[in-house]
Structure 1
Amino acid sequence: MDGRVPAALVEETGRWTFGVEPLPEAADTAARLRRVAGLVLALERPDPALDELLGALDRAERALSRRVPADPAPRVGPAADGDGRAYVDHSRHIGAFNACFPEYTIDVDGSRATGTVNFPVVYEGPPGLVHGGFLALFFDAAIQHHNCEVGEAGKTAGLELRYRRPTPLLTDLSFELTRTVEGTRIHSAGRLLSGDVVLCDARVDAARGQRSRLPAVSPRRVP
């Protein structure tokens, strides 16, 4: 081997993974960024603490920009030996390391999965309600998580949502997912609920991937 990671990193459980693990610090960073962003959005007036935050972010940006690859493209496939960045595995729990994605819990039982989600202020659209685009992002991520957990995933080919009721912020919600496989397609359906009330339905079609055809990905490089 030339130091590159095989196309698919498959654990004994049969999970489908692709890419490197996020840094442990990324999870703490993502959670803090979400919380602090929500607090900033709720401010009534300028505050010295915000000035301190902006100064700290400026310093961190300058320092980190000197430590990351200059090329922002991921080291995947033909570029696996290039000068870009390591690609972080997006198969599950993206919100745990990327503040732009929602966090959720999920319990997978074969073709079915259930879980919980609570959308903070940073996902607000109408007053007190979740922006519909974030619901689409949530379902796409959670359904892909389900597919990867059972070891059979692929690229999203279609995503359809029906908004039945407004989805409240800062509220513990539950969701249910089911999946079937027909030929080269994975069909998934999901429901987001508040108690027994269905807030949103989702349908996602994915093209079944073949692990043998996944491109190689580069590991993180030792300085």
Structure 2
Amino acid sequence: MASSLTSTAAPAGAAGLGALLLADGRLPVGGLVYSAGLEPGLADGMTQADVPRYLRARLRTVGLVDAAASVLAHRAATSDAGFGLDDVQEALAARTPSAPLRDVQGVLGRGLARLGERLRPDHPATVALRALGRAPLRPVALGCVAAALGVDAEATARASLYDDAQAVASAALKLEPGDPADAAAWVLAAEPDVAALVRAAVAVPHPDDLPATTAPQAEGWSLTHQHRTRRIFVA
């Protein structure tokens, strides 16, 4: 008999813990390798005082795109949505013009896919992710793993946005050490943005409608950061 860790259906109550699990920036590799663009931003002259504004600007641009893509992947993996994971992957890649950022999204996506294989290998969402046949970008993997854990679309979008904000806040403590309470306050202050962006992400009906609110400055930073020999994070 399969254990509860490898069964197709999520145990009762698992969805709540699943959402918290996915919002933990350390899992599976996220916050350990990814600063959400903060490291190259600081190298280009940003200061710690700029971090709260940067965090919220990311949420309204890259964060929204990623959250909406995770919702679309969730739908594609769990229902007859009229589009597939390939469509979501292609739409998201088209809105991520920086090759280094696509690469790091693939690293994070592979880590999440591995998590899905370990926890819910037989779930249809995990099977669909496996069938993609290439490294899924992080939001695509997040949507599928969330579905496999029984997390609904709204909670998936919130986890995606929280993870982005927390990635910035936690990276700031490594790059420009300060009071951890301040970093927590930055994330909490972003709650109105997150609430509005969750609604916007859930309302996106199709990959063709995925927002294209990219951040050109961050894209440029990623291109220079890949060549730095002294860095803590890959991006």
TM range (shorter): under 0.3
TM-score scaled by length of structure 1: 0.26
TM-score scaled by length of structure 2: 0.25
Larger fraction in helix: 2
Larger fraction in strand: 1
